[in-house]
């Protein structure tokens, strides 16, 4: 009976097959919803079994497994799948290729479920590539649009690179460790972690291949450009992409977490890439005038945080983060359709809760102090500093789990920036703004602290602490590197200033450095131009 | 013998004699050359996997063919090019997988050739320039073409990708192998994607009356697809064992 759970990845295939043969358009969403509800029920049953019986479910010659990670992710994907299918049923009704859309949608779910539930590296590699292909056809769904097809090509190109790295990594893993089965590999990796003094180079190569493949799929800078530009696809596809597909990098790294125990340098590099992506993508987001692209960069930034968490050893926190971010971003995309619909009837739309709470007061209080933005920033940073300071004094493990929490708090600050830019409350005097920001801050930090710990216990149990030990950064090296970067930046800025001739405009000297930086951000670091020039092949 | 194989498998006769006077049946000659090469390998038990000259020549052929393929819009030409883009693989794959790979490649190319024939029959030539948008206007032609191109672009569970993977597992990977993989992996992918974007995708040409595949053609393409899937699944079963 319990093995029934393992048919989950094949149910979307059945849905796609049924949709392919029926001609009744109204039956398409019904079939889709019925079977996806069935998946959700199976997923919840599986999660119940794993949690309460404390036993993993293996099947299909151990090719598939329903384990702790599946128990968390399968119900999430199933519910997300139901919502997206329900939304698409009406949203896509008048589009050409309604049937094609639902078939492709189900194919991508086959890939996601296989990826989450695979216990075999070959199955994982197949799922990985099915997702690339299905995503390509979904993003280019509007096949008559030249730009949609062009950006879909950027997507498939990046994903093909990820596919190649992943395939080579799988082959090398097999050749090095002698098995494809993840359950066996976990034991090998754990035993090698205790036994090996130095990790052989080949294991580092494998770790880096997996990391870079994951970063390409998760749109980490410099492999990010496909994500902000693919919002031209149908809204449900954008929701799925930002809530599900882009997270696969994090999911796969979680599945390979024990391998990364052997390769601390890979974790440190992941942290560096994640950190840079989180900061840089958030900055680009604030300068991008296109709201959909801005949301795309917001997701890139969030993926940066996710990879950064993995780099810190907080693997389970990354899972929690991807779920929370997925729900948030899917809601944003799915709500955008109805907002546009309302806005066409009423020029004052969007008039949502955030609008009523913050925006209306701003209109009445516009004349008051404009320094409140800085006050808000102060109020949000001070608690983080206090929190971090206390933790640092009380806990020796500050740079373990809590480091991740602190960094997440900073992630929340970026969220605040997003919040402030979208809802235009930056100059508002309303105390509600401060209270709203502080409450959400407290909630985020506490939730991450407690939920993160609980999930960690559940997924990795006694091994969770090993990740933090491995991922610990050498502070003196980091400090030296930071100092080096600082010297470089200061030196460069000094030389730049020496050669810069100020030209007064209306009695004011323009800050050229600032504008150059702004230009860099607003041009999205020239990545789109580079892609346009390099990839004219299609 | 290795030199003879190089001539046969790296497309020398094609580029010297056949390309300039390209005819519909040229594909069958190219395919015949490959099969003859395969038979030579069996009869004389030749293994070229250590012959650097052969492999580098094949890599150059592959790069040159990819370049040529990206410049043309003629499906008959492209069918020939796909044979030679894969040249390095013929020398490097272990024999067992080489046979399967050749089989699945030729089956796919027969399908693509038939799509070229469909283009010629309905739109005047096997040239796909300005005859895009098949997915909406001729859905069956679009669907089958898409499947052939997915196989050629090396996506599982179709056999080309599966046998590449199987061969990677069995052979000893060295620098040459990695070079070949990269050339072959992206060469096939770029050309397949270029065809896909210009045929299946795009706006339909309003000056053309689109016709979909006939019943007989549909059946034949379905059979080809089933064969491809079956071979792919067989290859997968082997690796999953």
Which is more confident, A456 or A73?
A: A73
Record: contact A144-B203, CB cut-off 8 A: yes
- If you average pLDDT over residues A31-56, what whole number do you get? 90
> Contact, B132 vs B201, CB < 8 A?
yes
Best of A23, A126, A536 to mutate (most B CBs within 10 Å, chain B)? A126
> Is B165 within 8 Å of A167 when comparing Cβ atoms?
yes
For residue B205, the chain A residue with the least C-alpha distance is A144
Say whether B169 and A175 touch across the interface (CB within 8 A): yes
Q: Do B202 and A140 touch (CB under 8 A)?
A: no
Shortest Cα distance, chain A CAs vs residue B57, angstroms: 23
Rounded to the nearest 5°, which phi and psi values hold at A352?
Answer: -95, -175
- Name which of A16, A122, A158, A177 to mutate to probe chain B: the one with the most chain B Cβ atoms within 10 A of its Cβ: A122
* DSSP notation for B123-180: HSSSB-TT---HHHHSHHHHHHHHHHHHHHTT-TTSHHHHHHHHHHHHSPP-HHHHHH
> Distance between CA A42 and CA A78 in Å, rounded?
9
Of the candidates B155, B178, B240, the beta carbon closest to that of A122 is on B240
Q: Cβ distance A105 to A88 under 8 Å?
A: yes
Contact with chain B for residue A375, Cβ under 8 A: no
Per-residue pLDDT at A399 exceeds 60: no
Instruction: With CB atoms and an 8 Å threshold, state whether A171 touches B136.
Output: no
Looking at per-residue pLDDT, the higher value among B92 and A368 belongs to: B92
Q: Which residue from A111, A160, A101, A125 is spatially nearest to A538, judged by alpha carbons?
A: A160
The alpha carbon of residue B80 is apart from the nearest alpha carbon of chain A, in Å, by: 20
DSSP letter (8 states) at residue A369? -
Using an 8 Å CB-CB cutoff, list chain A residues near B202. Answer: 143-144, 146, 149
Instruction: Tell me what the mean pLDDT of segment B207-215 comes to.
Output: 87
Return the SS3 of A95. Answer: coil
Cβ distance B133 to A144 less than 8 Å, yes or no, reads yes
Quote the minimal CA–CA distance from B107 to chain A in Å: 22
What single DSSP character describes residue A62? T
Residue A427: the pLDDT is 46
Pairing of strands A57-59, A64-66: antiparallel
Q: What is the pLDDT of residue A353?
A: 47
Mutate which: B135, B159, B182, vs A, most A CBs within 10 A? B135
Q: What is the mean pLDDT of chain B?
A: 86
Chain B residues within 8 A of A168 when measuring between CB atoms: 168, 178, 181
Mean pLDDT of A343-348: 64
Confidence class for position A174, pLDDT limits 50, 70, 90: very high
Query: What percent of chain A stands above pLDDT 70?
Result: 72
pLDDT digits (tens, 9 = 90+) for A472-485: 666 555 666 676 67
**Gap from A336 CA to chain B (nearest CA, Å):** 27
Domain ranges (residues) in chain A: 1-119, 146-348, 351-473
Q: Kindly report the pTM of this predicted structure.
A: 0.85
B-chain residue closest to A100, CA distance = B135
> Which of A357-371, A458-472, B134-148: highest mean pLDDT?
B134-148
Q: pLDDT per residue over A146-167, tens digit each?
A: 888 888 888 999 999 999 999 9
A·B CB contacts under 8 A: 71
- pLDDT of B152 > 90? The answer is yes
Number of other CB atoms surrounding residue A401 within 10 Å = 24
* Pick from A130, A164, A171: CB nearest B169: A171
Closest-CA residue of chain A to B184: A164
For B233, the closest chain A residue by CA position comes to A126
Contact B93, B207 (CB under 8 A): no
Grade residue A41 by pLDDT with cuts at 50, 70 and 90.
Answer: very high
Chain A residues touching residue B203 (CB < 8 angstroms) = 144
Please give, rounded to a whole number of angstroms, the shortest distance from the CA of B156 to a CA of chain A: 6
Which of A191-195, A357-361, B94-98 shows the highest mean pLDDT? A191-195
Average pLDDT over residues B212-234: 92
ipTM of the complex: 0.91
Mean local confidence (pLDDT), B8-34: 79
- The DSSP string of A165-202 is HHHHHHHHHHHHHS--BHHHHHHHHHHHHHH-SS--HH
Most confident of A116-125, A237-246, A432-441: A116-125
Interface mutation target, options B137, B197, B204, chain A, most CBs of A under 10 Å: B197
Q: Report chain B residues touching chain A, CB-CB < 8 A.
A: 70, 133, 135-136, 150, 155-157, 161, 165, 168-169, 173, 178, 181-182, 185-186, 189-190, 193-194, 197, 200-204, 236, 239-240
State the pLDDT at residue A499.
Answer: 59
> Which tokens belong to A210?
């997996």
Name the residue among A150, A128, A127, A129 with its Cα closest to residue A140.
A150
Of A72-86, A281-295, A351-365, where does mean pLDDT reach its minimum?
A: A351-365
Q: How far B133 CA sits from the closest chain A CA (Å)?
A: 7
Q: How does pLDDT run across B155-205, given as a tens digit for each residue? A: 988 999 999 888 888 888 788 888 888 988 999 999 999 999 888 888 888
Angle, vertex CA B219, rays to CA B218 and CA B220, nearest 5 = 90
Residue for token pair 């699944």: B233
Q: Which pLDDT does position A196 carry in this prediction?
A: 76
pLDDT given for residue A372 in this prediction: 57
**Interchain CB distance below 8 Å, B169 and A174:** yes
Does the pLDDT of residue A344 top 80, yes or no? no
- Does B152 or B126 have the greater pLDDT score? B152
- Of A397 and A103, more confident: A103
Residue A203 has pLDDT above 90, yes or no: yes
Task: Tell if the CB–CB gap between A168 and B236 is shorter than 8 Å.
Answer: no
pLDDT, residue A426, reads 47
The percentage of chain B sitting over the pLDDT mark of 70, rounded to a whole number, equals 100
Picking from B71, B156, B172, B232 by the largest number of A CB atoms within 10 A of its own CB, the best residue to mutate is B156
- Tell me the average pLDDT across A57-86: 91
Determine the pLDDT at residue B167: 87
pLDDT tier, A393 (very low <50, low <70, confident <90, very high otherwise):
low
Nearest to A149 among B150, B201, B239 (CB): B201
């Amino acid at each position: 009976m319990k093995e029934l759970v393992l048919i989950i990845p094949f149910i979307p295939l059945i849905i796609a097959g049924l949709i392919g043969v029926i001609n009744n358009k109204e039956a398409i969403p019904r079939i889709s919803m019925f079977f996806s509800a069935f998946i959700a029920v199976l997923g919840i049953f599986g999660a119940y079994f794993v949690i309460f019986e404390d036993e993993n479910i293996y099947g299909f010659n151990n090719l598939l497994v329903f384990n702790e990670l599946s128990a968390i992710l399968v119900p999430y994907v199933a519910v997300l799948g139901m919502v997206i299918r329900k939304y698409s049923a009406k949203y896509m009704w008048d589009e050409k290729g309604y049937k094609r859309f639902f078939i492709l949608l189900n194919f991508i779910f086959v890939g996601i479920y296989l990826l989450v539930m695979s216990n075999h590296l070959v199955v994982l590699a197949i799922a990985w590539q099915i997702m690339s292909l299905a995503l390509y056809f979904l993003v280019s769904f509007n096949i008559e649009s030249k730009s949609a097809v062009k950006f879909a090509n950027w997507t498939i190109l990046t994903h093909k690179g990820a596919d190649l790295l992943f395939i080579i990594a799988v082959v090398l893993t097999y050749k090095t460790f002698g098995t494809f089965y993840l359950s066996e590999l976990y034991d090998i990796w754990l035993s090698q972690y205790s036994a090996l003094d130095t990790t052989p180079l080949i294991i580092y190569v494998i770790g880096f291949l997996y990391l870079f493949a994951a970063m390409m799929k998760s749109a980490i800078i410099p492999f990010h450009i496909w994500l902000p530009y693919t919002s031209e696809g149908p809204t449900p596809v954008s929701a799925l992409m930002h809530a599900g597909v882009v997270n696969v990098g994090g999911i796969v790294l979680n599945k390979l977490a024990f391998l990364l125990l052997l390769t601390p340098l890979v974790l440190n590099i992941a942290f560096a890439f994640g950190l840079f992506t989180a900061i840089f993508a958030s900055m680009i987001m604030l300068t991008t005038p296109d709201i959909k692209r801005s949301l795309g960069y917001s997701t890139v930034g969030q993926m940066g945080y996710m990879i950064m968490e993995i780099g810190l050893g907080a693997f389970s926190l990354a899972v929690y983060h991807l779920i929370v971010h997925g729900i948030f971003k899917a809601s944003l995309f799915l709500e955008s359709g109805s907002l546009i619909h309302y806005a066409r009837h009423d020029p004052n739309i969007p008039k949502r809760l955030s609008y009523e709470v913050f925006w209306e007061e701003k209109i009445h209080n516009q004349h008051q102090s404009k320094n409140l933005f800085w006050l808000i920033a102060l109020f949000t940073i001070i608690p983080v500093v206090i929190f971090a300071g206390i933790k640092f004094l009380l806990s020796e493990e500050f740079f373990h789990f809590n480091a991740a929490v602190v960094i997440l708090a900073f992630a929340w600050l970026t969220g605040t920036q997003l919040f402030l830019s979208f809802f235009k409350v930056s100059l508002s005097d309303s105390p509600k703004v401060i209270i709203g920001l502080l409450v959400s801050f407290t909630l985020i930090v506490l939730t991450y602290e407690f939920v993160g710990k609980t999930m960690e216990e559940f997924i990795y149990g006694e091994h969770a602490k090993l990740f933090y030990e491995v991922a610990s950064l050498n502070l003196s090296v980091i400090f030296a590197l930071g100092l080096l970067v600082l010297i470089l930046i200061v030196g460069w800025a000094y030389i730049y200033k020496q050669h810069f001739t100020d030209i007064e405009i209306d009695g004011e000297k323009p800050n050229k450095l600032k504008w150059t930086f702004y230009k860099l951000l607003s041009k999205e670091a020239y990545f789109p131009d580079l892609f346009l020039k390099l990839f004219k092949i299609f | 013998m290795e030199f003879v194989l190089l001539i046969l498998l790296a497309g020398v006769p094609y580029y010297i004699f056949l390309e300039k006077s390209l005819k519909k049946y040229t594909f069958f000659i190219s395919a015949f050359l490959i099969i003859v090469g395969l038979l030579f390998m069996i009869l004389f038990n030749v293994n070229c996997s250590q012959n650097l000259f052969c492999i580098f020549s094949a890599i150059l052929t592959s790069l040159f063919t990819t370049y040529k393929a990206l410049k043309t819009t003629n499906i008959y030409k492209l069918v020939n090019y796909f044979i030679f883009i894969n040249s390095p693989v013929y020398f490097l794959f272990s024999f067992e997988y080489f046979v399967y790979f050749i089989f699945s490649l030729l089956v796919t190319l027969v399908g693509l050739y038939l799509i070229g024939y469909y283009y010629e029959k309905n739109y005047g030539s096997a040239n796909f320039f300005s005859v895009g948008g098949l997915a909406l206007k001729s859905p069956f032609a679009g669907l089958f073409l898409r499947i052939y191109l997915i196989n050629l672009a090396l996506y599982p569970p179709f056999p080309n990708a599966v046998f590449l993977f199987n061969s990677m597992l069995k052979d000893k990977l060295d620098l040459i192998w990695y070079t070949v993989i990269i050339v072959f992996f992206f060469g096939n992918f770029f050309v397949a994607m270029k065809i896909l974007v210009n045929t299946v995708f795009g706006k339909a040409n309003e000056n053309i009356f689109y016709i979909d595949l006939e019943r007989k053609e549909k059946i034949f393409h379905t059979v080809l697809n089933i064969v491809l899937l079956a071979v792919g699944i067989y290859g997968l079963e082997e690796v999953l064992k």
